[in-house]
Amino acid sequence: MKRAVIIVLDSVGVGAAANLAPQDNPNANTLAHVVEAANLRLPELQYLGLGNILPLDSVPPTKQPLAAWGRMAPLSHGKDTTSGHWELAGLVLDKPMPTYPNGFPPEIMEAFVTATGRAVIGNKVASGTTIIAELGEEHMRTGNLIVYTSADSVFQIAAHEQVVPLMELYDACRMARAILQGPHSVGRVIARPFVGIPGNFTRTENRRDYSLLPPAGGLLWQLRHQQLPVVSIGKIIDIFAGQDISASLEAHNNQEAMSALLHAMDDTDNGLIFANLVDFDMLYGHRNNAAGYARALAEFDAFIPSLAERLREEDILIITADHGNDPTTAGTDHDRENVPLLVWGPRVKPLDLGLRATFADLGATVAEYLNAPPLPAGCSFLRMII
């Protein structure tokens, strides 16, 4: 039985895309800069062909890689998690989701305060760790919710777990999601709980994302209509708003996601396993922590043999990303980057797939492999590799 496994290394971009906006960083190259900063060796990924994708100081190309290799360019407007994952699934957005560089307008905030019964502080662009350091004490004293955004299309709500119970915070996110529709349809509403005391606040792993409903016709939609299993790992279920997913394995960090991947590969005989490894972006990219980013890459590299042990004759396993977030640059926001493409499996021919025009080529290939109808976007490269 045919099975496809997609692993998204969240934010592991491989160089600035050609279609940058004026505010985008033309020098971003998340993977290359992290490898260079740490003199990082990734032997297992090197065997697959990672060094064949782009020049990497300490991960050279191999003459006989195990996987097909290439890059994919972003076609959707935006450089966020939602648009990146949706494009991987064959859903290209022809206009960007709204962003709020000056904070959310009064009509949004007034409706949110009325719905939740709590006042709001913040309402500006900020780093998540910075804003809880700045406003956490006031939040604890008043009970007011901390609302903030970023360069991405997000409405984020931070609250101390001992001040606002988690269930209330999640309810507030659902209320915000209901309000943020039409022209204000942000990609995600995100619960950002934290704990600690003033001067020593830390965010917890109880984050939840409330995404827009994806359009019909994408990879997950098509597989559901073919009655094929779709198993999500980590925040995939949130990114797709729970739609067209037959089973979901919870994972709050890379280690939990990798463990869940092994369980899913042991227990799922056909269809799609779709995983996101969040730590690269959440813990290291947004915090300009290149050393931590390098450690996480090394940990994933060491995990590759465990994946190899579970590859079946008719499996294809794809390693990719959804955008960039170069921790060696000054900013803490996502970067619009091309993403890596490694396609591995017993039947896969190792060859150069080049620079694909859109992330959607991945979804188109998986759809064809699993005998699902064509997707709204993307050109399958299946006949090149099998």
The answer on pLDDT for 50 being more than 90 is yes
Per-residue model confidence (pLDDT) at position 152? 86
Taking the mean position of all CA atoms in its chain, how far away is CA 266? 24
Average pLDDT over residues 304-316: 98
Question: Which comes out higher in pLDDT, residue 104 or 78?
Answer: 104
Categorize the per-residue pLDDT at 94 as very low, low, confident or very high, splitting at 50, 70 and 90: confident
Distance CA 231, CA 247 (A): 5
The dihedral built from the CA positions of residue 55, 59, 65 and 68, taken in this order, carries a sign that is negative
- Residue 201, amino acid: F
Q: Which residues contact 194 (CB under 8 A, 6 or more apart)?
A: 132, 136, 158, 159, 160, 161, 201, 202, 203, 204
What's the pLDDT tens digit per position in 269-302? 999 999 999 999 999 999 999 999 999 999 999 9
The answer on pLDDT for 185 being more than 90 is yes
DSSP secondary structure letters along 212-276: PPPPTTSHHHHHHHTT--EEEETTHHHHTTTTT-SEEE--SSHHHHHHHHHHHHHH--SEEEEEE
CATH number belonging to the domain at 3-95+213-385, selected among 3.40.50.300, 3.30.310.80, 1.10.260.40, 3.40.720.10:
3.40.720.10
3-state secondary structure of 110: helix
Q: Domain 106-210: give its CATH superfamily.
A: Phosphopentomutase (3.30.70.1250)
Query: Quick check: 354 and 69 in contact, CB under 8 A?
Result: no
% of the chain beyond a pLDDT of 90 = 95
Domain ranges, ordered by start, for the chain: 3-95+213-385, 106-210
Average pLDDT over residues 37-51: 98
The answer on pLDDT for 31 being more than 90 is yes
Q: Supply the pTM of this predicted model.
A: 0.92
Nearest to 79 by CA among 8, 25, 158: 25
Categorize the per-residue pLDDT at 74 as very low, low, confident or very high, splitting at 50, 70 and 90: very high
Query: Quick check: 97 and 182 in contact, CB under 8 A?
Result: no
